[in-house]
């Protein structure tokens, strides 16, 4: 099927007309546009124009006139996953005028570095419905340049890319932004080259979460490859560091366990409600938290119908939790952190136990809940709830649900989140949004 728009040719893959976008409600919105004279600046129209705007801004399309072009694009059922624009060069002035007319930010080209794991898969699934992200590169060290759908079958028909293993400079030529999903210690050897080549980076490994190279070596058993950058790297928890994230070139994405504990405890420590040195954190995680690489402990017959603690007193998330809570408290914080493996796919439930601050009695539960709501009232992904939250409440979402109880003079928090979304990939996209200057909730 060919469509001419003022000299620009648009090609559509057969069969795609039925699928306009992969977001609930947008199909209805596009059908309404086809049957009415709804203005071209509507939300649905801007969504459909996302890819075209990037082509215009780069000077690869010509004579696309605002309303007529937009109506034709939507009426043709143009899918943001497959559309291609071939045209003679357009002037920058025309592109600027069209972007202004549509009121839609240009697309950001994105690379997924280390695309084979669960976190990488979830990043890609989110970005495929993101109106301002265009995945242009997926990398893997696997031989044979496999198609991404061969690694993640759920992406079949949704992302037509093959995995390769290019140098950082080649990645930067294809993408403005990189989600680095490489293993610990490997990531910090690659990230500096991406930054030097001009990419912004969210690193999903633990390599940039700690401030001190000696502490990193103590917990991760390796010298840090980029130690000088540690003190200046922004920790990617928007609920505590939103403004720092906005201006960052590199953001260290938080760990899953730390996110669940920090979001529950930070308000209490900042407001001097609890003792900073006697905190106990009991966390339970689904098996996906252990990663995609097969291990004996996550083998189905080993972990099914069984609950087990692991890495008691030596889990690598301990120093991360203590570091960020110390920043929130303004004083040294010490925790006892015990993680458990639960026979479910995904989700984390964390319960913390704290003493009241020295010389004080615990406030009432109502007062504590009100304090948490006030702390997070400008942060859309933390839901302070009255009931006891469950992991199913947050599966597949970027929310963290938190509540609080007072029991025999102790202050308890209960929090839950999806370890692969708010605990990893959703938080990474939240950081991407802030770093690229778009609304924090976009795509989430």
Which residues participate in catalysis according to the annotation? 256
User: What is the Rg, in whole angstroms, of the alpha carbon atoms belonging to the chain?
Assistant: 24
Nearest alpha-carbon partner for 410 in 356, 333, 358: 356
List residues bridging with 86 in a β-sheet.
9
HEC per residue, 50-84: HHHHHHHHCCCCCCCCHHHHHHHHHHCCCCCCCCE
Q: Which residues contact 294 (CB under 8 A, 6 or more apart)?
A: none
132 to 27, 54, 75, 290: CA distances (angstroms)? 18, 9, 21, 31
CA 383 to chain centre: 18
The per-residue b/e assignment along 325-336, b for 16 or more CB within 10 angstroms, e otherwise, is bebbbeeebebe
Phi and psi of 395, rounded to 5°?
-60, 130
CB of 67 closer than 8 Å to CB of 40: yes
């Amino acid at each position: 099927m060919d469509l001419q728009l003022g000299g620009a040719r648009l090609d559509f893959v057969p069969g795609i007309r039925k699928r306009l976008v992969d977001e609930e409600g947008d199909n209805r919105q596009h059908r309404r546009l086809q049957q009415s004279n709804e203005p071209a600046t509507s939300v649905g129209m801007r969504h459909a124009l996302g890819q075209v705007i990037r082509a215009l801004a780069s000077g690869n399309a010509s004579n696309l006139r605002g309303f007529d072009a937009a109506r034709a694009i939507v009426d043709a059922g143009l899918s943001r996953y497959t559309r291609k624009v071939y045209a003679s060069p357009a002037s920058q002035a025309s592109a600027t005028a069209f972007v202004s007319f549509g009121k839609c930010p240009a697309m950001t080209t994105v690379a997924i570095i280390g695309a084979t794991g669960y976190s990488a898969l979830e990043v890609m699934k989110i970005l495929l419905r993101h109106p301002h992200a265009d995945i242009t590169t997926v990398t893997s060290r696997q031989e044979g340049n496999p198609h991404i759908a061969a690694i993640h079958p759920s992406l079949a028909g949704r992302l037509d890319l093959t995995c390769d293993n290019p140098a950082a400079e080649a990645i930067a030529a294809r993408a403005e932004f990189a989600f680095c999903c490489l293993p610990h210690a490997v990531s910090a050897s690659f990230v500096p080259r991406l930054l030097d080549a001009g990419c912004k980076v969210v690193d999903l490994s633990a390599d940039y979460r700690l401030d001190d190279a000696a502490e990193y070596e103590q917990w991760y058993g390796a010298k840090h490859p980029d130690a000088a950058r540690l003190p200046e790297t922004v920790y990617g928890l928007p609920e505590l560091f939103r403004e720092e994230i906005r201006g960052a070139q590199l953001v260290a994405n938080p760990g899953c366990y730390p996110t669940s504990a920090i979001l529950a405890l930070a308000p209490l420590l900042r407001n001097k409600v609890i003792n900073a040195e006697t905190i106990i954190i009991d966390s339970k995680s689904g098996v996906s938290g252990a990663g995609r690489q097969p291990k004996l402990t996550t083998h189905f017959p080993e972990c099914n119908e069984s609950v087990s603690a692991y890495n008691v007193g030596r889990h690598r998330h301990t120093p991360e939790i203590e570091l960020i809570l110390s920043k929130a408290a303004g004083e040294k914080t010490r925790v006892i952190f015990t993680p458990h493996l639960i026979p479910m796919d995904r989700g984390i439930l964390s319960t913390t136990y704290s003493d009241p601050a020295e010389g004080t009695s615990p406030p009432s539960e109502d007062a504590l809940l009100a304090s948490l709501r006030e702390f997070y009232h400008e942060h859309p992904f933390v839901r302070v709830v009255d009931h006891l939250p469950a992991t199913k409440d947050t599966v597949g979402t970027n929310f963290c649900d938190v509540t609080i109880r007072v029991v025999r003079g102790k202050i308890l928090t209960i929090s839950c989140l999806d370890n692969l979304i708010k605990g990893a990939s959703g938080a990474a996209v939240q950081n991407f949004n802030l770093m690229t200057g778009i609304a924090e909730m976009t795509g989430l």
